[in-house]
Structure 1
Amino acid sequence: MAKAKSHYVCQSCGSVYRRWAGRCTDCGAWNSIVEEAPPAEAAQPKGLGVGRGTTLKLVGLADDGRIDPRLETGLPELDRAVGGGFVPGSAVLIGGDPGIGKSTLLLQALAGLAQAGRRAVYISGEEAEAQVQRRAGRLGLADAEVHLATATSLRDILTTLDDGPAPHILVIDSIQTLYADTLDSAPGTVAQVRACAQALIGFAKRRGTVVLLVGHVTKDGQIAGPRVLEHMVDTVLYFEGERGHPFRILRSVKNRYGGTDEIGVFEMTGLGLAQVGNPSEMFLSDRSGDVSGSAVFAGVEGTRPVLVEIQALVAPTQAANPRRTVVGWDSGRLAMVLAVLDARCGLGLAGADVYLNVAGGLKIAEPAADLAVAAALVSSLTDRPVPPETVLFGEISLSGDIRPVAQADARLKEAGKLGFTRAYLPARTKAGQDAGPVRAHGLDGVADLVALFGAGETD
């Protein structure tokens, strides 16, 4: 029998090559291709042969009462992000920067489930048991009935879990530290991560256990390992936050049992992660309303309306290539807004340095922030503050028109709760904009917005 040849696998995207190369042609990563030995093949025929398989039991779509209810952790912000609680038998992948608080969040969630009578198991491949116990004591969770172990062998973990009663929830911290002894590659490689995740997901479906897999992230903020890992699990969560801010955002980017782009907001304190019930009030707590270059954007994250401050600074420069620095927003979208303001309104922003920041560490992705960004830029350029107690939202097109966005009523209602009395929004927004004390002002294009700062405020 011919000896199986080793192959080369990209550790970023999982592409397979016959020989080593310095750069992956699929994902463009450099020095990510590593030699791996082929997995041992079982002694079985290549085809199905003439044998019969096991007859599957077919069921209907109606819920006959056998579906278990969701597991609520006692942390409403976490439960909101996953769609109302964890679904039994699901696999959840959570990623985030080192030290952002992933282990702290999961330990608090396990303690909440344990206090509700659920069997919770925490397996760490990175920390010793004493380290996890010390963290639990610091968080005031030492009395929680959470079963703890330190292991990196997939075989040992599955053997331990199969010997006793199936846990309701299992945390693996982290998936990159586990290894399957059937493979010769090192822990963290594409083959190991894929094999270990597949075995744990199979355990979750077979025993009805919620499996939470902690994943490392790359320098770009993406979960390390093969991209197929995110396709294998049911839910993908990202734990975000800036180093200089105590606030943390738990964002759902994939959820087979709920909506995507839902967020949960936490604040890192000395006693762990505290939940933030009203994130809009938190993001606007330090805002000064009489400063130019500041505008309040009424956004929507998932199903939750969130108000956040957008700060802009336009400064003259003598450099040939003016700087464009963006934190919390898409730099490409900023370039488009600047181009529209220059082409349609003649503001001359192309020769100035532009700095844009979303206060509080929140990352905004929806185009509805265009109008608030434009207002902050024009306010900084003219040194005139945005009218007080004002929110803005709307999408700017390349023609300079302001296009309507979804969920306008929810945005206005949230603004009214926080004491805002005026809103600038697209003129073509459907009727019903006025929510309580908020008075809506429609704008047809960016020229109308610039007129508010250049020719005096219009009511």
Structure 2
Amino acid sequence: MAKIKSVFICQQCGYESPKWVGKCPSCSSWNSLVEEQKIPSNISNSTFNKGYASSSQKPRSIKEIKSGEAERLDTGISELNRVLGGGLVKGSLTLISGDPGIGKSTLLLQTANNISKKYGKVLYVSGEESEEQIKIRGDRLGAICDDLYIVAETNLDNIDVHIENMNPSFVIIDSIQTLFKATVTSAPGSVSQVRECSNELMRMAKTKNIPFFIVAHVTKQGELAGPRVLEHMVDTVLYFEGERSEEFRILRTIKNRFGTTSEIGVFEMRQEGLMEVYDPSKIFLEDTNYNQEGSIIVGIMEGSRPILVEVQALVTETKSYNPRRTAVGIDVQRLNLILAVLEKKLKIPFYNCDVYVNVVGGLNLQGTMGDLGVALALISSAKGSCFNMEKIIAIGEIGLTGEIRPVISCERIVNEASKMGLNNIIIPQRNIEKVNVKGLNLLGIKSLKEALGKIF
């Protein structure tokens, strides 16, 4: 009989050590190594070589391989289809994560109900809630299809038997941190259990050609809990953004082997569940008071979709030797860069002021398209004056020398602004030649100094 060895595995990164150490040599985290038993495989090298020799797979030229679109299942939710790249791919493994109470289980239950109506049996495996709790949520959401099956189970071997007997068209695992495999001695949620359970789920998905949705927890820092290998193994990683007190939710693609990673889905949380938002700009600007001090509309691109949001800034003088820099919806490092350019090029002092920036609606600004809008909102609040024109929208990236750099898809953002009734549009000078929209007051600017003279 093979000897059972004990190894110490880091619960943060999965590093294995033959003895315990206080600090992980790989990720430098303290007191994260936990002792686990490692059972060696009984498969001999001769058996492995025999299996390899009898494999029917042979190397083929890339020209001989036929290419084609993967078969997809319609989830019945267009915003979810958008972030997935057109629907669920058969045999795919999709990971969804987000803060507790953000709406992950609600979205998955709605998806399971829609797929069960179109494609047949769907299995919802819950390791955190009882079957009665899911039934209560299903009654509230109207998800009570006959082909939607619920089971409260955490043993992966039993789940495999259920899938073998049912042969469902779609499986949901809620959540991966609650599953355990009997042959692994560590506790559920540990690095070894998560890794082994993920491998087994991937085997089920690929061999049975069944799409899987896996729910994963997040850490206090908002990162995906568990080993990083979990993200590498799955085909798609989705992340739910938003505050529990806010009504809007953003579903963002972090990784997608079957589509783009730049799309987002917008949802509104209501009593009857998550409702799709087909026109995000209209929702985000619904309660906007135009021509307010420190407030401006910015235009950004999220994948193929132009979105307009309001950015608010507040600059207040402080006597503290360490002024605050607080940003919600924008990267703090990007805010510090914009403040440095404003101090250097426009001589506007921010060193003795607290600065607060907020993106209304809970959206996180990705990229640099909102730089100009943030800068103008900061100047407006610092000067205590409004803009000399109403319903302004600003688009542009700020360089370290104070110039306004061009952005991509500017014409699409301008068309969206025109549809929303915003006629005064500030864009980079190099973009104005490519924008062919009539009836608008387009202001092309080259630098921050030029913008300051035209707007204030």
Normalising by structure 2, report the TM-score: 0.94
Q: In structure 1, what is the Cα distance between the partners aligned to 2:438 and 2:174?
A: 47
Q: Which whole-Å deviations, capped at 9, do the CAs of 1:297-348 have from their partners, x for residues lacking one?
A: 1001111111111110000111111111111110001000000000011001
Q: In structure 2, what is the Cα distance between the partners aligned to 1:21 and 1:435?
A: 65
Q: In structure 1, what is the Cα distance between the partners aligned to 2:181 and 2:134?
A: 24
Shift of residue 209, structure 1, vs aligned partner: 0.6
Aligned to 1:288, the other structure's residue is in SS state coil
Q: In structure 2, what is the Cα distance between the partners aligned to 1:380 and 1:201?
A: 53
Instruction: Tell me the number of residue pairs that the alignment of Structure 1 and Structure 2 aligns.
Output: 451
Shift of residue 221, structure 1, vs aligned partner: 1.0
C-alpha contact (below 8 Å) 1:92/1:233 kept by paired residues: yes
Q: Structure 2: which amino acid aligns with 1:109? A: T
- 1:127 paired residue among 129, 133, 139: 129
Q: Which whole-Å deviations, capped at 9, do the CAs of 1:256-308 have from their partners, x for residues lacking one?
A: 11110211000111111111111111111111102111111100111111111
| Alignment match, 2:79 | 77
Q: Are 2:394 and 1:392 equivalent residues in the alignment?
A: yes
Q: In structure 2, what is the Cα distance between the partners aligned to 1:168 and 1:154?
A: 18
C-alpha contact (below 8 Å) 1:415/1:438 kept by paired residues: no
C-alpha contact (below 8 Å) 2:248/2:362 kept by paired residues: yes
| Alignment match, 2:17 | 17
Shift of residue 18, structure 1, vs aligned partner: 2.8
Change (3 A) 1:197 1:438: farther
Deviates more, 1:439-448 or 1:14-23: 14-23
Q: In structure 2, what is the Cα distance between the partners aligned to 1:39 and 1:302?
A: 46
Shift of residue 432, structure 1, vs aligned partner: 2.6
| Alignment match, 1:62 | 66
| Alignment match, 1:34 | 34
| Alignment match, 2:360 | 359
| Alignment match, 1:254 | 255
Matches within 5 A, 1:309-324: 309-324=310-325
C-alpha contact (below 8 Å) 1:93/1:213 kept by paired residues: yes
Q: In structure 2, what is the Cα distance between the partners aligned to 1:402 and 1:13?
A: 42
Change (3 A) 1:398 1:46: farther
C-alpha contact (below 8 Å) 2:371/2:396 kept by paired residues: yes
- 2:109 paired residue among 103, 107, 110: 107
Aligned to 1:116, the other structure's residue is in SS state helix
Shift of residue 49, structure 1, vs aligned partner: 4.3
Matches within 5 A, 1:1-400: 3-45=3-45, 48-49=48-49, 52-56=53-57, 60-63=64-67, 69-164=71-166, 166-386=167-387, 387-400=389-402
Shift of residue 7, structure 1, vs aligned partner: 1.5
Matches within 5 A, 1:399-438: 399-429=401-431, 431-438=433-440
Change (3 A) 1:349 1:452: farther
C-alpha contact (below 8 Å) 1:412/1:438 kept by paired residues: no
Q: Structure 2: which amino acid aligns with 1:374? A: A
Q: In structure 2, what is the Cα distance between the partners aligned to 1:345 and 1:25?
A: 47
Q: In structure 1, what is the Cα distance between the partners aligned to 2:294 and 2:25?
A: 43
C-alpha contact (below 8 Å) 1:413/1:436 kept by paired residues: no
C-alpha contact (below 8 Å) 1:239/1:249 kept by paired residues: yes
C-alpha contact (below 8 Å) 1:296/1:310 kept by paired residues: yes
Q: In structure 1, what is the Cα distance between the partners aligned to 2:419 and 2:5?
A: 66
Q: In structure 1, what is the Cα distance between the partners aligned to 2:66 and 2:216?
A: 35
Change (3 A) 1:438 1:115: farther
Listed as ranges, the gaps of 5+ residues in structure 1 are none
Aligned to 2:282, the other structure's residue is in SS state helix
Shift of residue 46, structure 1, vs aligned partner: 7.3
Aligned to 1:440, the other structure's residue is in SS state strand
Shift of residue 144, structure 1, vs aligned partner: 5.0
Change (3 A) 1:303 1:61: farther
Q: Structure 1: which amino acid aligns with 2:384? A: D
Q: Structure 1: which amino acid aligns with 2:260? A: G
Listed as ranges, the gaps of 5+ residues in structure 2 are none
Q: Structure 2: which amino acid aligns with 1:26? A: S
Q: In structure 2, what is the Cα distance between the partners aligned to 1:204 and 1:3?
A: 33
Change (3 A) 1:54 1:292: same
C-alpha contact (below 8 Å) 1:39/1:184 kept by paired residues: no
Q: In structure 1, what is the Cα distance between the partners aligned to 2:452 and 2:428?
A: 14
Aligned to 2:370, the other structure's residue is in SS state helix
